[in-house]
Structure 1
Amino acid sequence: MARAAEIVKRLVIGRALRSEETHAAELPKRLALPIFASDALSSVAYATQEMLLVLTVGGLAYTYLTGWLAGGVVLLMAVVVLSYRQVVRAYPSGGGSYEVVSTNLGPRSGLVVAAALLVDYVMTVAVSVAAGVDNIVSAVPSLHDARVGLALAFVVLLAAINLRGVRESGRAFAAPTYLFILGVLVMCAIGLARWTAGDPPVAQSAGYGIRPEPGEADLAGAAVVMLALRAFSSGSSALTGVEAISNGVPAFRRPKSRNAATTLAAMGLIAIVLFSGVTALALISDVHIADDACRLTGFPGDCENAPQRTVIAQVAAAVFGGDESFGFYYIQTVTALILILAANTAFNGFPLLASVLARHRYLPRQLYTRGDRLTYSNGIIALATVAGLLLWVYQASVTSLIHLYILGVFTSFTLSQIGMVRHWNRTLRTGTDPAARHRIHTARVINGVGAAITGLVLVIVLVTKFLEGAWLAVAAAVLLWLTMRGIRRHYDSTAAELAVTDPRAEYLPPSRIHVVVPVSTLHKPTLRALAYARALKPDSLEAVTASVEPEDVRQLRRQWEEAGIDVPLKVLDSPYREITRAIVGHVRSIGAGSGPRDVINVIIPEYVVGHWWEQPLHNQSALRLKSRLLFTPGIMVTSVPWRLSSSAHAAARSPGQAPGSVRRGEPPPSRPRQPSGGSGDTGS
């Protein structure tokens, strides 16, 4: 079993890498772009659609707002990209928004950003994969009923690729990202050229009408403004992933800050061009789409079960001459790929941020360490698990998941820009060089404008999406914030409890050592445990057994005397046939009569087995005994292993470290080992 697991692990993630190979995982810009920018680039595939879905609740009357709202999204994206270029230059360590806010606004505010970003990374995986599956279904409608299974399979695949390492995931995702950019640019060029030439593309849905939702037909005044704000907040999903590069600066090649800033600028420019082109073609080709297909008049087929085609699918069909053209299938293929691979941004950002938080003792320490391939594998697995659960609960529906999205992004945007303004203010108080001060003033203005705009958008998103499901994201972020505060308090209190104030006093040896060896029968493991106990030269040593079956006790006494063992054997009364309670009670009674610096050492024989199915057959009584004794003050528990022949065979077969095997520099098999919470055996 151990060998099979090791083989599967190596097939999935590859050979283990040494710690000094970390530099080999640093990324050039051409690989960093698809790894960190795939989310921001891919969101152009659904951002326009999300705006239209909101505007068409009132029918076709309000779609004229699309262009103006798209212009606002483009302006917002430009401001955010410029702002984050200041972040990567000022804070190249990779903490991103969390580090900026923690340093300048305090740790509590930094934890707000961290909680919001962690939730948003989970949503990035869920929304990106669901949107990718939507585009697959648009090309192959027969897969509609398998959408949840497809989504979960893609999450597992992404996790496996990322477990192989950053460079490997970059190579795997580079081609789809660049093919998507090329395909959408060609589509936009052809579509706009046809429009300029007087032959504009026409979408398949251009002839559909849209029935307004009840009460949404004749909106006026504040109601129209509210509708526009809702549409704008949905379109702002195009900004998701912009912050990922600021979190991943350490992954870039040197000079890290400059390369990260260059990649961020390239990402922003490409995303703006693609989003503008797709939105313009959607308006030119007169794409009609609604949140419910049954509101589309003229929709062919069963509106309750037949899926609508996505906006980008309709645009591709209109530009390239139908849904049987090569261009249509090319766009659908690369769009589905990049939407699914966009989740890779989160698979890089989430583990990095979780590692930083674990280093600061806000998350479990297991999230801090790297795995075999120098990736933060525990963070990758945690992200895949939670995102997969969301996809299953929400049936991989983009419309349902999108309401939980982007709230965390704008929380981090706003607080990080406010933090940067504070950073520049502090820098100005100490800087004297005129040229440097001029640059700082410019950067402060950029971050100040960014804070104002993203703060306004945050309010809009919160107001317009709260009751539609965003409250769940808020609740999740609050719960995560409280959990991280609790983890930090636990680590702090533990550190304070374990801190050494007087090393000489703590280093003093025990006054007396009392050793107790639980036994149930006289065999080789028992004799080894007794021999080790004698080698310790304790002040007192006794073997104890619980009287469960009188005949067994009489036989043990007879064997003990015949063997001439000079360790006294004490029989404990156990009227209710409870071995653990009898031994624990006896050990505690010894402790009650001991001095404050006396130590009681309970030495337990333990079987080491070679097969998983053997484990339930042994070591159960000792497991219960350990679990009780480890919580008893003044008690030390030592396991003396006895390796069964099956463990030796397993060690010979296993290419890795089998149970009970010994590495160079470890004690030989005859030496005892301290228990790690595993099971033991008293010989029964």
Structure 2
Amino acid sequence: MFSSIKRFLIGRPLKSHELGEQKINKTKALAILSSDALSSVAYGPEQILIVLATIGAAAFWYSIPIAVGVIILLTALILSYRQIIFAYPHGGGAYVVSKNNLGVNPGLIAGGSLLVDYILTVAVSVSAGTDALTSAFPPLHNYNVEIAIVFVIFITLLNLRGVTESASILAYPVYLFVLALFILIGVGIYNILTGGVAPELHTPLGTPVVGISLFILLRAFASGSSALTGVEAISNAIPNFKDPAPNNAAKTLIMMGILLAILFSGIITLAYYYGTSPRAEVTVVSQIAEDVFGRNFMYFFIQGTTALILILAANTGYSAFPLLAVNLAKDKFIPRMFLMRGDRLGYSNGIIILGLASIILILAFHAETEHLIPLYAVGVFVPFTLSQTGMMVKWIREKPQGWVPKLIINTTGALISFIVTLMFFLTKFNQVWSILVFLPIIIFIFHRIKKHYDTVGDQLRITTCEPGLQIEGNVLIVPVAGITHVVENSINYAKSLKPDQIIAVYVAFERDDEHKFEEKWKKWQPEVRLVTLHSHYRSIITPLTKFVDTVEHKASESNYQVTVVIPQFITKKGWHNILHNQSSLLIKSFLLYRRNVIVTTVPFRLKK
């Protein structure tokens, strides 16, 4: 039944040689890898206005020069990540750049930040999409958390079906969103140029505003820069592209940058001219769409596509998180389970972990985007800063042909990213302080995992000085619960190994049972020694493990190996297991950690 449900949800398993068919072209890549960055125009401009609103509506004209600053940063990041794509064509992005040029710990800071950032990408995108949906349908507002969780489960299942299939489905909503915003911006600007928008709705550019300060402007700039989250995703996901992967990735990155710049500047311009103010339960894009079109088909079309892309922007996290996890797992900083491909050739463990972590975040923050965005933005601007700095070090160290312009680009990007990061810490410390706690914890865990893998590798390597076990003989212990086919099967198996000694062990709770069983055993298996143990507290485990420890201690003095052969019957149907005590599994779990004891199970399969 489980396999049938699994087949229905994620499709038939794919063969390993079909991996090449799971690569995506530029059109689909732009949809699934740019959806996070493109969707952020639905809340990035709003974050600028929220900060400026603390001064008053008269300060909204500052959103225009702030938007120019955000686009300058975007340009520096796009050019920089284009260089990263060609310098590190196997993916890994900020993690690989920082690790190779700045050292292991900066690399782990970048990698850890991005892992958390991709979890936040899913949580923020789905929460923002849910906000857009409930803005159009206010009665649903009380069910934000439940709706968001359903969307996360849907996107997780979609990604478990494979990159190609998810890209084919997600491309349509992304391009519909781009089309919807182009129509909105086009019609809105046409209304402005033709005098359809009243001049009194906005204050003229350059109007003096009481209370404005450089600190407020930098804070607004930092908040608006949240629209740049997701820019790095393409550099992490280069292996998903069709060949030539670096060239296709670079072209996709440039196209994403152009679209993001147009959409971001367009929404900011409309918000300024239409005098849009941020409101608690209605998004800025929703207000602009209503002002431009009214509550007609176009309004609902824009809200629908906005909600869709905000929800499906989470797919950027699903595309980049597993590949980043692969790079960290290859370096032994996270469990090797992240290296395993699933039935559909995707890194399914990474996809599932990402989905579960995102649901936990949505529950913790009650799907409130405003509380998630600052932490989300800091999580990406830390890697931005480190990757730009890493590239600066690379150019200074290697000095390839034409390295000076590249150094200038990376220096500009590093400086602005660092300023944005500082502004988040200074202005929203109460919302982002947790990153100062969990990042050191994550890095500590990374190092502990690495140490474990290194220690295991040293112990398993045959070139180590530790001598192999010298075995002079073998003693087999067979725990028995009665005279049955299960026990007979195990005793016959033990005899076939021709050990030096076989000891059957019976644990009795009553003295009468002990003597009766000894009599029966003598008649049934007279050549096999039986040891009966009395359990005062009705426990099988305690007396049995004590006996095994005693035999092992004596056997080790003569270089004898102790093997415990556990009889176990296997029921025909899985649900039958709940009707039995599963004592064999209990015994096995206790004995597996005995240092010099081998544990083996002899199954007896029931036919009915």
Quote the Cα distance in structure 2 between the aligned partners of 1:385 and 1:480: 18
Q: Which residue of 2 aligns with 1:561?
A: 522
Out of 353, 363, 382, which is 1:411 matched to?
A: 382
Out of 118, 123, 127, which is 1:121 matched to?
A: 118
Per-residue deviation, 1:174: 0.2
Quote the Cα distance in structure 1 between the aligned partners of 2:210 and 2:288: 29
In the alignment, structure 1 residue 318 sits paired with structure 2 residue 291: yes
Q: Which residue of 2 aligns with 1:662?
A: none
Quote the Cα distance in structure 2 between the aligned partners of 1:62 and 1:375: 48
- Deviation track 1:60-118 (CA, whole Å, cap 9, x = no partner) reads 23222111111111111111011000000100111111111111111111000011111
Q: Which residue of 2 aligns with 1:184?
A: 181
Q: Which residue of 2 aligns with 1:219?
A: 211
Out of 223, 239, 249, which is 2:238 matched to?
A: 249
Quote the Cα distance in structure 2 between the aligned partners of 1:367 and 1:161: 18
Per-residue deviation, 1:255: 0.8
Quote the Cα distance in structure 2 between the aligned partners of 1:70 and 1:167: 35
Q: Which residue of 1 aligns with 2:511?
A: 550
Quote the Cα distance in structure 2 between the aligned partners of 1:503 and 1:486: 24
- Deviation track 1:293-335 (CA, whole Å, cap 9, x = no partner) reads 5xxxxxxxxxxxxx3x211111111222x11x11111110110
Other structure's SS at 1:593 match = helix
In the alignment, structure 1 residue 621 sits paired with structure 2 residue 594: no
Q: Which residue of 1 aligns with 2:406?
A: 443
Per-residue deviation, 1:628: 2.1
Q: Which residue of 2 aligns with 1:236?
A: 225
Quote the Cα distance in structure 1 between the aligned partners of 2:85 and 2:146: 38
Amino acid paired to 2:478: V
- Deviation track 1:166-202 (CA, whole Å, cap 9, x = no partner) reads 0111011100111111111111111111211111279
In the alignment, structure 1 residue 605 sits paired with structure 2 residue 576: no
Q: Which residue of 2 aligns with 1:364?
A: 335
- Equivalenced residue count is 601
Per-residue deviation, 1:230: 1.8
Contact 2:29 2:252 in 1 (8 A): yes
Quote the Cα distance in structure 2 between the aligned partners of 1:201 and 1:542: 97
- Where does the alignment leave 5 or more consecutive residues of structure 1 unmatched? 208-216, 294-306, 432-436, 647-684
Out of 363, 366, 369, which is 1:395 matched to?
A: 366
Per-residue deviation, 1:644: 1.8
Contact 2:514 2:534 in 1 (8 A): no
- TM-score normalised to the size of structure 2? 0.95
Q: Which residue of 2 aligns with 1:199?
A: 196
Quote the Cα distance in structure 1 between the aligned partners of 2:410 and 2:267: 29
Q: Which residue of 2 aligns with 1:678?
A: none
- Deviation track 1:480-523 (CA, whole Å, cap 9, x = no partner) reads 222212211222222222222369942x6511111110102000
Other structure's SS at 1:594 match = helix
Quote the Cα distance in structure 1 between the aligned partners of 2:153 and 2:359: 8
Per-residue deviation, 1:427: 2.5
Q: Which residue of 2 aligns with 1:640?
A: 602
Quote the Cα distance in structure 1 between the aligned partners of 2:289 and 2:302: 7
Contact 1:119 1:476 in 2 (8 A): no
Other structure's SS at 1:500 match = coil
- Comparing 517-526 and 63-72, the one that deviates more: 63-72
Q: Which residue of 1 aligns with 2:396?
A: 425
Quote the Cα distance in structure 2 between the aligned partners of 1:449 and 1:69: 17
Amino acid paired to 1:61: A
Q: Which residue of 2 aligns with 1:299?
A: none
Q: Mapping of 1:64-143 within 5 angstroms?
A: 64-143=61-140
Contact 1:137 1:143 in 2 (8 A): yes
Amino acid paired to 1:458: T
Contact 1:201 1:319 in 2 (8 A): no
Out of 508, 521, 531, which is 2:482 matched to?
A: 521
Other structure's SS at 1:546 match = strand
Quote the Cα distance in structure 1 between the aligned partners of 2:334 and 2:121: 21
Contact 2:510 2:534 in 1 (8 A): no
Amino acid paired to 1:463: L
Identity %: 40
In the alignment, structure 1 residue 6 sits paired with structure 2 residue 3: yes
- Deviation track 1:318-369 (CA, whole Å, cap 9, x = no partner) reads 222x11x111111101100000000000011111111221221111111111
Runs of 4+ in 1 over 4 A off after TM superposition: 502-505
Quote the Cα distance in structure 2 between the aligned partners of 1:474 and 1:609: 52
- Deviation track 1:604-655 (CA, whole Å, cap 9, x = no partner) reads 0012124343223335322332222111111000000011225xxxxxxxxx
RMSD: 1.9
Q: Which residue of 2 aligns with 1:161?
A: 158
- Comparing 85-94 and 379-388, the one that deviates more: 379-388
Amino acid paired to 2:454: D
Contact 2:562 2:597 in 1 (8 A): yes
Per-residue deviation, 1:425: 2.6
- Where does the alignment leave 5 or more consecutive residues of structure 2 unmatched? 203-208
Quote the Cα distance in structure 2 between the aligned partners of 1:139 and 1:575: 70
Contact 2:341 2:348 in 1 (8 A): yes
Contact 1:85 1:261 in 2 (8 A): yes
Quote the Cα distance in structure 1 between the aligned partners of 2:130 and 2:340: 33
